[in-house]
Amino acid sequence: MTAFLASIVEAYGELRVHKGRILLSLLGVAFSVFALTGVMGGGGMLGGALQQSMEKSSGRDTLLSIQPMGDMGYSYDEHGTMLEEPGGAAEEVAPAEQDAIVLEQLDRLGITQRSREAHAFTRIQTPQGVVGTDLTGVDPSYAAMYRMQVAEGRWLTDSDHQRLAPALVVNAPLYEQLGRPELGTETITLYGASGASESEIATVVGVLPADSSTDWGPRAYIAADGLAAVPGVDTSVSTISQYLAWVPPEQGEEVRGHLAQRLSSTSAGSFEVYPTSFSMEQMEVYKVFGYAIGGVAVVILLLGALGLVNISLVTVRYRVREIGIRRSYGATGGRIFFGVLMESVVATVIAGAIGVAAAVALVKAPFVTDAFTRVGLVDIPPFPVGAVVVGLAAATAVGVLAGALPALIATRIRVIDAIRS
Q: How confident is the model at residue 282 (pLDDT cuts 50, 70, 90)?
A: low
Domain that holds residue 359: 2-56+282-420
Residues 24 and 149 in one domain: no
Residue 79 has a pLDDT of 40
Residues 288 and 363 in one domain: yes
Residues 47 and 68 in one domain: no
Rg of the Cα trace of the chain?
Answer: 33
State yes or no: pLDDT of 367 exceeds 70. Answer: yes
Residues 34 and 176 in one domain: no
The bridge status of strand 219-223 relative to strand 240-246 is: unpaired
> Do the beta carbons of residue 135 and residue 230 sit within 8 Å?
yes
Rounded CA separation 283/65 (Å): 21
State the pTM of this model: 0.67
Segment 43-72 shows an average pLDDT of 79
Residue 1 has a pLDDT of 67
Residues 225 and 332 in one domain: no
The CB-side HSE value for 380 (13 A sphere, CA atoms) comes to 13
Residues 254 and 140 in one domain: yes
Rounded CA separation 119/121 (Å): 7
Residues 240 and 374 in one domain: no
Last residue of a domain, one of 278, 295, 316: 278
Segment 235-252 shows an average pLDDT of 82
Residue 356 has a pLDDT of 93
> Do the beta carbons of residue 48 and residue 280 sit within 8 Å?
no
Q: How confident is the model at residue 206 (pLDDT cuts 50, 70, 90)?
A: very high
Residues 77 and 218 in one domain: yes
Q: How confident is the model at residue 42 (pLDDT cuts 50, 70, 90)?
A: confident
Residues 241 and 315 in one domain: no
Residues 47 and 99 in one domain: no
Residues 412 and 318 in one domain: yes
The more confidently predicted of residues 54 and 392 is 392
Residue 129 has a pLDDT of 92
State yes or no: pLDDT of 246 exceeds 90. Answer: yes
Segment 222-233 shows an average pLDDT of 87
Report the domain count for the chain: 2
Last residue of a domain, one of 278, 312, 329: 278
State yes or no: pLDDT of 342 exceeds 60. Answer: yes
Segment 3-19 shows an average pLDDT of 63
Residues 38 and 92 in one domain: no
Q: How confident is the model at residue 287 (pLDDT cuts 50, 70, 90)?
A: low
Highest mean pLDDT pick, 41-55, 76-90, 191-205, 274-288: 191-205
Q: How confident is the model at residue 85 (pLDDT cuts 50, 70, 90)?
A: very low
Lowest mean pLDDT among 164-168, 174-178, 414-418: 414-418
Last residue of a domain, one of 247, 278, 309: 278
CA pseudo-torsion sign 200, 204, 210, 214: negative
Residue 238 has a pLDDT of 60
Residue 78 has a pLDDT of 43
State yes or no: pLDDT of 136 exceeds 90. Answer: yes
